[in-house]
Amino acid sequence: MLKNHDAEFADPLSRSAALPSATAAYPAEVAAMQRSGMQWTETSAGSRFLRTVADIIRLARQFIRTQSVLLRNSGALLTGTGVTAAIGFVFWWIAAKYFSQEAVGVASAAISMISFLALVGECGLGTLLVGETLRKPDDSAGLISAAIIAAVALSSALCLGYLAVARLYPPVFAFGGSLNPDLSGAVLFAGCAITGLTMVLDSAFVGLLRSLLQTWRTLLASAFKLTLLLAAAYAGFAGSANTIVLALIGGQAVSVLLIVAILAHDSQIWEPPNFRLLRGLGRNVVGHHLLNLAAQSPGLVMPVLVASILSAEVNAAFYAAWMIFNVILLGPASLTTLLFTIGVVEPARIKQRLSFSLLICALASPIAWGGLMLGADHLLSIFGPAYAAQGGPVLKILGTAIFGVAIKFHYIAVQRLSNSMAPASLVLLAGAIVELAGAAFGARLGGLNGFVEGWVIAIYLQALVMVPGLVRFARRQGKQALRTQADLCSRHRFGGRH
């Protein structure tokens, strides 16, 4: 093991010198060159080229081997979320086909509000599980059970508070359209409870490095919500936004019931709740919660803002574009979630993995943006001409923000790993205010396109503030890794003398 560490920090020239000679390693290639009359020496360009190729292949294999856990779990998340996103695309296509544009706009705003209320009520418990389940393997099941119960109770209570305010001030509940307060209130309450539960349960699966379970649950939820929406449309219940929301909530509920039945005897997940341990981690919960709120609130509030400032019809087109944009963001989101999960238990390799993750995002972002420039109008035309006319330009503008959002995701991950959640929450809270204020101001000046342009500018202003924090973290981790390596080497030498 120590030999591998020494090789990792060795000079590149000394590493290449340790390779076998080109004549010994590649006899067939050397013989072919000699038969053709070419002069072969160990210092020739051909030798240097073959050595370089061999070195690159060796380093690539070593790198993939060290990143296997990150790549495997991130791949599982990406596969599941990609298929889920495709089904979600079909879901909203059916909604756009059978429901009015106003109903789609109201439903998307209501679903965003459900997600926001569940996020507030979930209190950061899901993110806490991502970081703590591997640290406390013997207590993880009790911690997971306690976190699920607490999230459902808090999300439900918060929704009741919101509904009480909506009774006093009905425009808060309208989402730019018209809703039946009684029926819609019951739907909203059920949605908050089930969404709070799934947020914590999915995070528990990721924290246990069992991402395939999360993948299967989300796939089941997507399949059932699509089935329920189709059944409602063909049965003639396509007039209300409540039908769309109920289909989504019903799919989530069925998926949870199936997963609970399948894993009924899994002692790694289900045990009596350990509320004492959960209370002991209360300080970490608060830090994770504030960070989650500051980071995720703008994305959830924006559809509600569009519906309120502009109209429900405009929000339908915006939400279609926003949905496609967030599918693209699943890539950096999955990478940084696993970066945090694995970084908790393998801090020595975090600088290497951070660089790898940022490099992937830097290379993929312009490719994704180019794809949106070419295909945005075609994608949104699937929902209808009005969606393409209003949402196509919006999606192209959103594409310019991909790398800025990726930087934000990485900043959040490293601040969690540094346990610097309080200062990071302040930075992200200020960023959230700037995002929403910039979007609202842009809407006043330029309608929907101005709304999105104001948001993109705010994203890159945040990125400029966050990049120095990423650089400082990487340097600090690099120095710490070198100190650890030096300690290991000195212990090895000291032990060798005895």
With beta carbons less than 8 A apart as the criterion, state whether 106 and 177 touch: yes
Hey, where are the domains in the chain? 83-280, 317-498
Q: What would the two tokens of residue 378 be?
A: 């075609």
Inter-CA distances, 313 with 105, 177, 201, 330, 493, Å = 6, 9, 34, 26, 72
Inter-CA distances, 211 with 174, 199, 327, Å = 37, 13, 18
Among 441, 464, 361, smallest CA distance to 403 is for: 361
Inter-CA distances, 238 with 87, 91, 99, 243, 369, Å = 19, 13, 6, 7, 35
19's enclosing H/E stretch is none
pLDDT tens sequence for the chain (498 residues): 334 443 333 333 333 333 344 444 444 544 544 554 444 444 455 566 566 656 556 655 555 555 555 556 556 556 666 777 788 888 999 999 999 898 899 899 999 999 999 999 888 888 778 777 767 766 777 888 888 899 999 999 999 998 888 777 776 666 755 555 556 788 889 999 999 999 888 888 877 777 677 888 888 898 899 999 999 988 888 778 889 999 999 999 999 898 888 776 666 666 778 888 887 776 667 777 888 788 889 999 999 999 888 988 999 999 999 999 988 888 888 788 777 767 766 666 777 778 888 888 899 999 999 999 999 999 999 999 999 999 999 999 999 999 999 999 999 888 888 877 778 889 999 999 999 999 999 999 999 999 999 999 999 999 999 999 888 887 877 666 555 555 555 555 555 444
